[in-house]
């Protein structure tokens, strides 16, 4: 959809806690919708369930309901592990506890996990059967270390909705300071040319998310977006009365576009701008140096943030391996991941090649870069790699060279 905020750019709020703690009830109360299935049967919520919506006063959010952390069903262990995989993607969290049930070690473990992940967390004490939250906290002093942000209410009572929303809105979401794709670069009346190939990778009847986001951002800054395909680029440039401030191309068309755009006109790619938007362009540019060290038997992880159906000319599984081979990097051991899958242990890889991350939250992209950095594994994204393999990396990063110093 063209309207609304892209899911990856919304504040992600995860709801965690034991089975029947009231997570789903609270979500339905806050949103005034039946988003989550509510049942007295433990384990009703199995896999994480997400819903993008507007939730005032927070604005555009993604609500994520998760399985109980004490799920003892046959698939319980798998469900809890699935819940853990969504934690790094959250900008905020709500941890639910019932006041009529004593905390268990898993409660403390999960509160510690959220703290270690530096996720601002609202602990909600769900008052049940007349057991007050104040008495519950007093009876369990071990919880006080995690009580910086606390709400006490019967979450099934809609009268507490505004109070709970206010408590939630007082949290400062992780990555609240996220910059924009062209932040600090574009000015009013700037002309930006966008080269958007329409091929097998383009969704039918639509253009891909980074291109949509770019058009909107240019309009927000009162700039002018000129959109064309590679075949019309020459004519587009000739028809402009003044040179564009920047030409942005799909990475896959880098080589052809670089031959058309005069050297005096700055050129970059959507993927490089996504790396800048996600906050680690400097690290990803540094990571490309590891490509020159690859040799027969080197192990390479190619990671996609989305789970699109692979095309016959898929960039991650077909084009990048082909470009690497054309540059003499043969007999590599290639492995792939997609969507939420990303290994905790990447130490066995010689380099990680990651997509632009348009479908991932900035927090998740930063986490993946940090995982690689801590384990000493170079990481580079598609746009930086493709520009390097085609010998135009320096030109592609030139508009932002001051940010790389």
The phi, psi pair for 220, rounded to 5°, reads -60, -30
- Per-residue model confidence (pLDDT) at position 298: 96
Residue 349 confidence (pLDDT) above 90? yes
pLDDT, one tens digit per residue, over 282-330 is: 899 999 999 999 999 999 999 988 765 555 568 889 999 999 999 999 9
- Band (pLDDT 50/70/90 cuts) for residue 356 is confident
Cα distances (Å, whole numbers) of residue 25 to 60, 173, 311: 21, 23, 41
Structure tokens at 204: 């039918």
Domain with CATH 3.40.50.300 in the chain: 7-169
Tens of pLDDT, residues 175-227: 544 467 888 889 999 999 999 988 666 666 778 888 988 999 999 999 999 99
Q: pLDDT tens across 369-401, in order?
A: 989 999 999 999 998 999 999 999 999 999 988
Cβ neighbours, 10 Å, residue 310: 14
Confidence at 332, pLDDT banded by 50, 70, 90: very high
The tokens describing 261, both together, are: 């755009």
| Residue 232, CB-side half-sphere exposure with 13 Å CA sphere | 13
Give me the architecture of the 277-389 domain, per CATH. 3-Layer(aba) Sandwich (3.40)
Given the candidates 1.10.3720.10, 3.40.50.11420, 1.10.1270.20, 3.40.50.300, the CATH classification of the domain at 191-274 is 3.40.50.11420
Pinpoint the residues of the chain covered by CATH 3.40.50.11420. 191-274
Instruction: Enumerate residues 6+ apart whose C-beta is below 8 A from 287.
Output: 351, 352, 372, 378, 379, 380, 384
Peptide bond into 57 cis (omega under 30): yes
Cα 67 from Cα 16, distance rounded (Å): 8
Grade residue 263 by pLDDT with cuts at 50, 70 and 90: very high
Locate CATH 3.40.50.11410 in the chain: 277-389
- Give residue 2's pLDDT: 38
pLDDT at 3: 45
Predicted local distance difference test score (pLDDT) of residue 206:
75
Average pLDDT over residues 13-37: 83
Residue 360: band (very low, low, confident or very high) from pLDDT cuts 50, 70, 90: confident
Task: Compare 275 and 227 and report the one with higher pLDDT.
Answer: 227
What is the percent of the chain where pLDDT is above 70?
88
pLDDT mean over 334-344: 88
- Give me the mean pLDDT over the 265-279 stretch: 87
pLDDT of 41 > 70? The answer is: no
- Between the ranges 44-53, 173-182, 205-214, 333-342, where is the mean pLDDT highest? 333-342
User: β-strand 191-195 against 246-249: which pairing, if any?
Assistant: parallel
Architecture of domain 7-169: 3-Layer(aba) Sandwich (3.40)
Confidence at 1, pLDDT banded by 50, 70, 90: very low
Instruction: Encode the chain in three state secondary structure.
Output: CCCCCCHHHCEEEEEEECCCCCHHHHHHHHHCCCCCCCCCCCCCCCCCEEEEEEECCCEEEEEEECCCCCCCCCCHHHHHHHHHHHHHHCCEEEEEEECCCCCCHHHHHHHHHHHHCCCCEEEEEECCCCCCHHHHHHHCHHHHHHCCCEEEECCCCHHHHHHHHHHHHCCCCCCCCCCCCCCCCCCCCCEEEEECCCCCCCCCCCCCHHHHHHHHHHHHCCCEEEEECHHHHHHHHHHCCCCCCEEEECHHHHHHHHHHCCCCCCEEEHHHHHHHHHCCHHHHHHHHHHHHHCCCCCEEEEECCCCCCCCCCCHHHHHHHHHHHHCCCCCCEEEEECCCCCCCCCCCCCEEEECCCCCCCHHHHHHHHHHHHHCCCCEEEHHHHHHHHCCCHHHHHHHHHHHCC
pLDDT digits (tens, 9 = 90+) for 139-148: 998 888 877 7
Q: How far from 181 is each of 95, 192, 295, 365, 400, CA to CA, in Å? A: 33, 13, 35, 15, 12
pLDDT tens per residue, range 70-105:
876 666 678 788 888 888 888 899 999 999 989 999
């Amino acid at each position: 959809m063209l309207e609304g905020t892209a899911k990856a750019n919304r504040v992600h709020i995860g709801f965690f806690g034991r089975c029947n703690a009231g997570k789903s009830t609270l979500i339905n109360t806050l949103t005034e919708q039946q988003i989550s299935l509510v049942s007295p049967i433990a384990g009703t919520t199995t896999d994480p369930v997400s819903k993008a919506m507007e939730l005032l006063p927070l604005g555009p959010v993604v609500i994520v309901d998760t399985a109980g952390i004490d799920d003892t069903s046959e698939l319980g262990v798998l469900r809890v592990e699935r819940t853990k995989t969504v934690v790094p993607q959250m900008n905020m969290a709500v941890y639910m506890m019932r006041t009529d049930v004593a905390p268990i070690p898993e409660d403390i473990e999960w509160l510690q996990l959220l703290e270690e992940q530096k996720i601002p967390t609202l602990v909600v004490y769900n008052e049940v059967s007349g057991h007050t939250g104040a008495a519950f906290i007093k009876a369990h002093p071990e919880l006080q270390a995690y009580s910086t942000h606390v709400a006490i209410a019967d979450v099934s009572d809609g009268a507490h909705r505004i109070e709970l929303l206010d408590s939630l809105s007082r949290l400062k979401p992780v990555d609240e300071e996220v910059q924009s794709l062209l932040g600090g670069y574009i000015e009013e009346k700037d002309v930006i040319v966008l080269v958007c190939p329409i091929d097998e990778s383009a969704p039918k009847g639509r253009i891909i998310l980074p291109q949509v986001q770019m058009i909107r951002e240019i309009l927000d800054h009162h700039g002018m977006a000129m959109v064309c395909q590679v075949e019309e680029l020459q004519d587009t440039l000739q028809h402009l009365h003044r040179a564009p401030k920047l030409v942005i191309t799909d990475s896959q068309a880098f080589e052809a576009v670089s031959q058309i755009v005069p050297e005096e006109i700055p050129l970059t790619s959507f993927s490089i701008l996504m790396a800048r938007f996600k906050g680690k362009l400097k690290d990803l540019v540094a990571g490309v140096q590891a490509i020159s060290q690859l040799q027969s038997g080197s192990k390479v992880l190619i990671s996609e943030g989305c789970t699109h159906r692979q095309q016959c000319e898929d960039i991650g599984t077909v084009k990048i391996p082909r470009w690497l081979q054309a540059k003499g990097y043969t007999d590599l051991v290639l492995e792939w991941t997609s969507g939420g899958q990303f290994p905790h242990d990447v130490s066995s890889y010689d380099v990680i090649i990651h997509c632009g991350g348009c479908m991932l939250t900035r927090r998740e992209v930063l986490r993946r870069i940090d995982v690689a950095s801590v384990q000493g594994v170079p990481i580079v994204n598609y746009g930086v790699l493709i520009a390097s393999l085609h010998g135009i990396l320096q030109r592609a990063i030139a508009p932002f060279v001051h940010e790389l110093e």
